[in-house]
């Protein structure tokens, strides 16, 4: 066992004395030591309940003959960080989480790991750590929030209140209406109730084989989540005994499965950052081009918020992620031979699974669309690609051409939108918000929600080298690569330039001649970095382009 390095032999007497200082007994030290990596904190609603999950996981580990020891991982609430400098510190935590988990595990020589994340960056961060460390590991997340219920009886969620701010500025919603959203949009602990980034990534832990069925969908407040945690604690002991490791599970085929399920579910565009980063840690390279190939043959089966009016609890009741995967097997879209944390293949896991609600999970014969939920666009504005959640785009915006309205940061764009300076037909361009230029690649939920809330969601597009929340809907195109700070063509766009978008044909074009672009490039000067000290400054020097997953070199 790995833990023999800290507990066996006369040379390890000093180490054992410190383990005894923890209150551990010889009996406990004779068993495998399982690290419980918990993101519990008291500032993130998705993490406030993780202490309960920790205790349940520990009970499962002990029941199966192991010794559980918890250590923490950080987590940022993207909703609370949204709209100010805090959002620059969201994406960057993904790599901090992976690095700090690596340090803790290597320093203390755990035999196995149970990862307890829940929100946007700590799920992929811990998946990256699991792939990098490659010791037996399994995930048990905190679960999704319940949908809110307005005073009118209508269900609601986080994306609705962001759009409500836009409606308020447009004069179509009063303060009383805002208060109704405030008090009801987020009614419980858990990751926010739509198919946003946190829930997207939690669902993909199942699709890639690193979590038990239900991990992505069982609501946080339900006792079923505690039972799932206990079963996960038991299962890690089996993985240790059988020596099944993350790289045995997270194979190239497993990543293809995950991207296929991603397209069927209509997941957040942030998965296009996280899946390549996780794969990189597993020694596998996946590209944005592969995403379009998978999307072209994968029907979109779910329209959860923000794309539609169903929520994570509905997906759970319909059969969850496995029911979506079962539909995909009807057209042989998955590799079912892959190993999973159950100790069985995906084919064995899906035996007997039934889609119990064809309104929530469309049968594959009757999809929302024949293509997947995400599209990667390319053209002279984004030679290396950019990303849009096409399942959440209004039909009339799938093809759009209009004048560029150029802003050098998110804050300036929001001010213009609220001031009524953006009109039907415009293409809002927000640049210098990429991984390097931000730095930190802020989410643009505020401007996209403002556009939709002010009634412009069916007539205005937004393009950025930043990224979007999973709660974003509309013709919101992010991850433009190369980014402006790296000299990408988005840096050369001028006010009034025509930009043509064709999502159906995966095209995005700045209607300017190559000669004109070259002339502009000769005159272009990269702005001074916005932040020159601290972690963000170091991050900006090391981070790769968004199309490569914004990984650190």
Q: For the domain 375-548, what is the CATH code?
A: 3.50.30.80
| Average pLDDT for 2-23 | 97
Q: Would you say residue 53 has pLDDT above 90?
A: yes
Q: Which of 200, 268, 295, 469 is catalytic?
A: 469
DSSP3 helix / strand / coil % (the chain, rounded to 5): 45, 15, 40
Report the C-alpha gap between 346 and 211 in whole angstroms: 12
| Average pLDDT for 264-283 | 97
Domain boundaries, the chain: 31-146+190-349, 375-548
The pLDDT of residue 553 is: 77
Could you tell me which residues come within 8 angstroms of residue 511 by beta carbon, excluding any fewer than 6 positions away?
Answer: 401, 497, 498, 499, 500
Pair of tokens at residue 415: 């001010």
The pLDDT of residue 467 is: 95
The answer to whether 185 and 192 are in contact (CB under 8 A) is no
Closest by alpha carbon to 111, among 133, 139, 142, 140? 133
Q: What is the pLDDT of residues 128-144, one digit of tens each?
A: 999 999 999 999 999 99
Q: How confident is the model at residue 471 (pLDDT cuts 50, 70, 90)?
A: confident
Closest by alpha carbon to 198, among 267, 99, 148? 267
Q: What is the pLDDT of residues 341-367, one digit of tens each?
A: 999 999 999 999 999 999 999 999 999
The answer to whether 211 and 205 are in contact (CB under 8 A) is yes
The pLDDT of residue 36 is: 98
The pLDDT of residue 469 is: 87
- In the chain the first and final C-alpha atoms are separated, in Å, by 32
The pLDDT of residue 445 is: 87
> Does the CA dihedral 269-271-277-283 come out positive or negative?
negative
Closest by alpha carbon to 384, among 151, 545, 492? 545
The answer to whether 93 and 41 are in contact (CB under 8 A) is no
The pLDDT of residue 129 is: 98
Backbone angles phi, psi at 190, to 5 degrees: 120, 165
Give the residue carrying structure tokens 């410190």. 18
Q: What is the pLDDT of residues 192-238, one digit of tens each?
A: 999 999 999 999 999 999 999 999 999 999 999 999 999 999 999 99
Q: What is the pLDDT of residues 429-464, one digit of tens each?
A: 999 999 999 999 999 888 999 999 999 999 999 999
- Count CB atoms within 10 A of the CB of residue 523: 7
- Whether the bond between 224 and the residue before it is cis, its omega within 30 degrees of 0, is no
165-174, 270-279, 393-402, range with the lowest pLDDT: 165-174
Mean residue pLDDT of the chain comes to: 96
Report the C-alpha gap between 451 and 54 in whole angstroms: 41
The pLDDT of residue 470 is: 82
Q: What is the pLDDT of residues 285-326, one digit of tens each?
A: 998 889 999 999 999 999 999 999 999 999 999 999 999 999
Residues of the chain with pLDDT > 90, as a percent, come to 96
77, 219, 307, 393, 452 from 160: Cα distances, Å = 17, 20, 11, 16, 10
Backbone angles phi, psi at 501, to 5 degrees: -120, 130
State the DSSP string of 192-250: -SSS-HHHHHHHHHHHTTSB-TTTTTS-TTSHHHHHHHHHHHHHHHHHHHHT--HHHHS
Report the C-alpha gap between 154 and 150 in whole angstroms: 5
Q: What is the pLDDT of residues 490-529, one digit of tens each?
A: 999 999 999 999 999 999 999 999 999 999 999 999 999 9
Pair of tokens at residue 507: 């095209």
The pLDDT of residue 533 is: 95
- Count CB atoms within 10 A of the CB of residue 192: 31
Instruction: Verify whether residue 469 is a known catalytic residue.
Output: yes
The pLDDT of residue 289 is: 86
The pLDDT of residue 344 is: 98
Q: Would you say residue 30 has pLDDT above 90?
A: yes
Pair of tokens at residue 280: 């990189």
The pLDDT of residue 16 is: 97
| Average pLDDT for 361-383 | 97
The answer to whether 141 and 430 are in contact (CB under 8 A) is no
Pair of tokens at residue 169: 């500025």
CATH class of segment(s) 31-146+190-349 = alpha beta
Burial category of 452 from C-beta neighbours within 10 Å (exposed 0-12, middle 13-18, buried 19 and up): buried
The pLDDT of residue 49 is: 97
């Amino acid at each position: 066992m790995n833990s023999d390095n800290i507990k066996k032999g006369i040379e390890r007497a000093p180490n054992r004395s410190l383990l005894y200082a923890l209150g551990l007994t010889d009996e406990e030290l004779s068993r495998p030591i399982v690290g419980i990596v918990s993101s519990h904190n008291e500032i993130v609603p998705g993490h406030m309940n993780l202490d309960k999950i920790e205790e349940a996981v520990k009970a499962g580990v002990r029941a199966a003959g192991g010794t559980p020891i918890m250590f923490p991982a950080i987590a940022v609430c993207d909703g609370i960080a949204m709209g100010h400098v805090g959002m620059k510190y969201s994406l960057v935590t993904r790599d901090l989480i992976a690095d700090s988990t690596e340090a803790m595990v290597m320093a203390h020589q755990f035999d196995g790991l149970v990862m307890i994340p829940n929100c946007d960056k700590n799920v992929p961060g811990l998946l990256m750590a699991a792939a990098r460390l490659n010791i037996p590991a399994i995930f048990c997340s905190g679960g999704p929030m319940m949908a809110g219920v307005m005073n009118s009886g209508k269900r609601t969620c986080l994306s609705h209140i962001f759009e409500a701010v836009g409606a308020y500025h447009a004069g179509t919603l009063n303060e009383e209406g805002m208060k109704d959203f405030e008090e009801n949009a987020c009614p419980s602990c858990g990751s926010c109730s739509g198919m946003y980034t946190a829930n997207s990534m939690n669902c993909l832990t199942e699709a890639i084989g690193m979590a038990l069925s239900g991990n992505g969908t069982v609501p946080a407040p339900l006792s079923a989540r505690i039972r799932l945690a206990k079963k996960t604690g038991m299962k890690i002991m089996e993985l240790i005994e059988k020596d099944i490791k993350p790289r045995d599970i997270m194979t190239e085929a497993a990543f293809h499965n995950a991207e296929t399920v991603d397209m069927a579910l209509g997941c957040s565009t942030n998965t296009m950052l996280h899946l390549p980063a996780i794969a990189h840690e597993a020694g596998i390279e996946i590209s944005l081009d592969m995403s379009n190939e998978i999307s072209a043959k994968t029907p979109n089966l779910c329209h959860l918020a923000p794309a539609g009016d169903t929520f994570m609890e509905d997906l759970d009741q319909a059969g969850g992620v496995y029911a979506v995967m079962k539909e995909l097997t009807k057209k042989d879209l998955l590799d079912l031979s892959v190993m999973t944390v159950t100790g069985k293949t995906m084919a064995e896991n899906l035996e007997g699974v039934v889609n119990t609600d064809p309104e929530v999970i469309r049968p594959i014969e009757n999809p929302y669309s024949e293509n997947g939920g995400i599209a990667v666009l390319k053209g002279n504005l984004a030679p290396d690609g950019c990303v849009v959640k096409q399942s959440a785009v209004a039909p009339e915006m799938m093809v759009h051409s209009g004048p560029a309205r150029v802003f050098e940061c998110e804050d300036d764009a929001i001010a213009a939108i609220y001031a009524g300076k953006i009109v039907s037909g415009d293409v809002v361009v927000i640049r210098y918000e990429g991984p390097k230029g931000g730095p930190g690649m802020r989410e643009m939920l505020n401007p996209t929600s403002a556009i939709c809330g002010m009634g412009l969601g069916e007539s205005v597009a937004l393009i950025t080298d930043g990224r979007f929340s999973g709660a974003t809907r509309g013709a919101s195109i992010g991850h433009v690569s190369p980014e402006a700070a790296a000299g990408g063509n988005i840096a050369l766009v001028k006010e009034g330039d025509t930009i043509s978008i064709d999502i159906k044909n995966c095209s995005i074009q700045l209607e300017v001649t190559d000669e004109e672009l070259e002339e502009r490039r000769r005159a272009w000067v990269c702005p001074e970095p916005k932040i020159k000290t601290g972690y963000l400054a170091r991050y900006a020097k090391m981070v790769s382009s968004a199309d490569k997953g914004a990984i650190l070199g």
